[in-house]
């Protein structure tokens, strides 16, 4: 049974194991399959929790020493990020800029130890009206644009009234800490949901920062678990498992209602189906609703077909169209742009096919001879 699982699935199941026998069996299979020197970043992000599971159940991996080093790496990285986080929050407080913790910074509260939730960067949300001021403040205090070219493109989009990005990605060169300064909750959520988050914030005891209410946080986690490539979703599924231990039935009902209001119910229920398939404990009512929903795979991003083949063109065009329409359901401008783009590509393909069809040679009359 375990031999049919990928290394990503083994890693995920090992993190989710709740008894020593299951964890031991999964760890043996993981040891046989993992190539520790070339492990993917997605699995590396789970290494603190894998190390924790070996300690929790009294197990030992053949890679135990390397797992400990990886755990220490993420522990040190967490200390660096929280140190910079305190500085950023202090800067914003001095300028009366409200800030909210998103994603990993807030989700660590659900883990038995905060350092078990690895983070590639810090995600902070400021109100759209405060974003430019907050960004300017950070740039004056040692932060820099991580992707300056993307920020320039974003500025052009905003000039024409479009806003495809949820925020600005920054880096602190001295500490190599990265910060995603959001003006919106995320790329796949509506402005209405961001407004709702500001209207109903909660204050966690661990960080002292505001963060979205639990139904919004739950909705965001499920959405992230289903929207990207599987390897990048591993930590989001673990987040969901950790959250589920302290969520109420009302939290789930409200998160489902948010998905419906944000036109993301299909994706939300697809995420629930994926979580349920890995044994994550979820309320019966929500798993029943997901099981009865129409099947929906994660939105395609890349095609595995031969480049420029008919299948590649079909999958790529359909995938990009689906991404745009799902990302911006509340903004008709983007849907119109998606329709225009799709129509333009189809017409271009028809024209190319027409031009490729061999034309009959012109017939000559007897006089021409």
Q: Where are the alpha helices (H) located in the chain, listed in sequence order?
A: 7-16, 20-33, 41-44, 47-56, 64-94, 104-107, 128-140, 148-159, 191-199, 214-227, 230-244, 249-261, 265-277, 284-291, 310-327, 332-356
Contact (Cβ atoms closer than 8 angstroms) between residue 105 and residue 207: yes
Q: Report the share of the chain in percent with pLDDT over 90.
A: 54
pLDDT at 367: 55
pLDDT at 161: 45
Please give the DSSP secondary-structure letter assigned to residue 36: G
DSSP per residue over 316-364, as a string? HHHHHHHHHHHH-TT-HHHHHHHHHHHHHHHHHHHHHHHHHSPPPPPPP
pLDDT tens digits for range 73-97: 999 999 999 999 999 999 999 999 9
d(CA 279, CA 259): 22
pLDDT tens digits for range 182-220: 999 987 788 899 999 999 888 876 778 999 999 999 999
Q: For the residues 222-248, what does the mean pLDDT come to? A: 84
pLDDT at 213: 94
pLDDT at 101: 95
Of the two residues 179 and 341, the one the predictor is more confident about is 179
pTM more than 0.85? no
Rounded to the nearest angstrom, the gap between the alpha carbon of residue 143 and the centroid of all alpha carbons in its chain is 24
Structure tokens at 176: 């190599």
A 10 A CB-CB count for 240 gives: 27
Confidence grade of residue 138 (pLDDT, cut at 50, 70, 90): very high
Q: Phi, psi at residue 109, to the nearest 5°?
A: -65, -20
pLDDT at 307: 53
d(CA 171, CA 145): 6
Structure tokens at 82: 């929280």
Average per-residue pLDDT in the chain? 83
Of the two residues 248 and 230, the one the predictor is more confident about is 248
Exposure on the CB side of residue 365, measured as CA atoms within 13 A: 2
pLDDT tens digits for range 33-50: 999 888 888 899 999 999
Residues 6 or more apart from 323 whose CB is under 8 A from it?
299, 301
What is the side-by-side order of every strand in the sheet holding 100-102?
Answer: 100-102, 122-125, 177-182, 167-172, 144-145
pLDDT at 304: 52
Indicate the angle between helix axes 7-16 and 47-56, nearest 10 degrees.
Answer: 50
Q: How far is CA 112 from CA 16, 49, 75, 173, 199, in A?
A: 13, 10, 14, 31, 29
pLDDT tens digits for range 158-172: 544 445 568 899 999
> Nearest CA to 108 among 81, 131, 126?
81
Of the two residues 265 and 305, the one the predictor is more confident about is 265
Q: Phi, psi at residue 210, to the nearest 5°?
A: -65, 150
Structure tokens at 154: 């974003």
Checking if the pLDDT of 108 tops 50, the result is: yes
pLDDT at 160: 45
d(CA 137, CA 211): 21
Per DSSP, the three-state class of 81 is helix
d(CA 100, CA 201): 8
d(CA 23, CA 14): 6
Confidence grade of residue 280 (pLDDT, cut at 50, 70, 90): very high
pLDDT at 343: 76
pLDDT tens digits for range 314-361: 555 555 545 445 444 545 555 566 666 777 877 887 777 777 767 666
Rounded to the nearest angstrom, the gap between the alpha carbon of residue 93 and the centroid of all alpha carbons in its chain is 28
d(CA 46, CA 117): 8
d(CA 135, CA 140): 9
pLDDT at 178: 95
Contact (Cβ atoms closer than 8 angstroms) between residue 280 and residue 238: no
pLDDT at 315: 52
Please give the DSSP secondary-structure letter assigned to residue 309: S
How many residues are listed for the chain in this entry?
A: 369
Question: Whose structure tokens read 């994603």?
Answer: 103
């Amino acid at each position: 049974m375990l031999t049919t699982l990928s290394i990503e699935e083994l890693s995920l199941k090992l993190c989710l194991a709740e008894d020593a026998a299951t964890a031991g069996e999964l760890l043996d299979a993981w040891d046989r399959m993992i190539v520790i020197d070339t492990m993917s970043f997605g699995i590396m992000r789970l290494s603190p929790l894998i190390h924790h599971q070996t300690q929790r159940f009294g197990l030992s991996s053949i890679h135990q020493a390397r797992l400990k080093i990886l755990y220490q790496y993420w522990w040190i990285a967490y200390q660096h990020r929280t140190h910079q986080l305190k500085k950023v929050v202090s800067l914003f407080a001095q300028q009366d800029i409200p800030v909210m913790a998103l994603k990993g910074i807030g989700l660590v509260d659900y883990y038995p130890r905060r350092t078990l939730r690895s983070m590639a960067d810090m995600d902070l949300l400021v109100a759209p009206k405060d974003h430019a001021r907050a960004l300017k403040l950070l740039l004056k205090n040692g932060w820099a644009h991580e992707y300056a070219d993307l920020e320039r493109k974003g500025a052009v989009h905003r000039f024409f009234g479009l806003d495809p990005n949820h925020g600005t990605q920054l880096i602190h060169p001295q500490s190599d800490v990265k910060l995603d300064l959001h003006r919106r909750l995320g790329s796949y959520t509506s402005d209405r949901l961001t407004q709702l988050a500001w209207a109903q914030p909660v204050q966690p005891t661990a960080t002292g920062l505001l963060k979205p209410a639990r139904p919004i946080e739950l909705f965001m986690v499920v959405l992230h678990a289903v929207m990207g490539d599987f390897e990048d979703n591993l930590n989001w599924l673990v987040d969901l498992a950790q959250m589920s231990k302290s969520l109420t039935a009302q939290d789930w009902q409200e998160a489902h209602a948010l998905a419906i209001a944000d036109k993301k119910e299909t994706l939300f229920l697809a995420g629930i189906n994926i979580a349920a398939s890995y044994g994550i404990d979820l309320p019966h009512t929500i798993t029943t609703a997901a099981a009865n929903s129409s099947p929906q795979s994660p939105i395609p991003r890349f095609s595995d077909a031969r480049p420029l083949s008919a299948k590649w063109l079909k999958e790529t065009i359909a995938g990009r169209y689906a991404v745009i329409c799902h990302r911006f359901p509340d903004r008709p401008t983007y849907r119109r742009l998606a329709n225009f783009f799709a129509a333009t590509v189809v017409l271009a393909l028809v024209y190319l096919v027409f031009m490729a069809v061999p034309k009959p040679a012109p017939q000559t009359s007897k006089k021409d001879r």
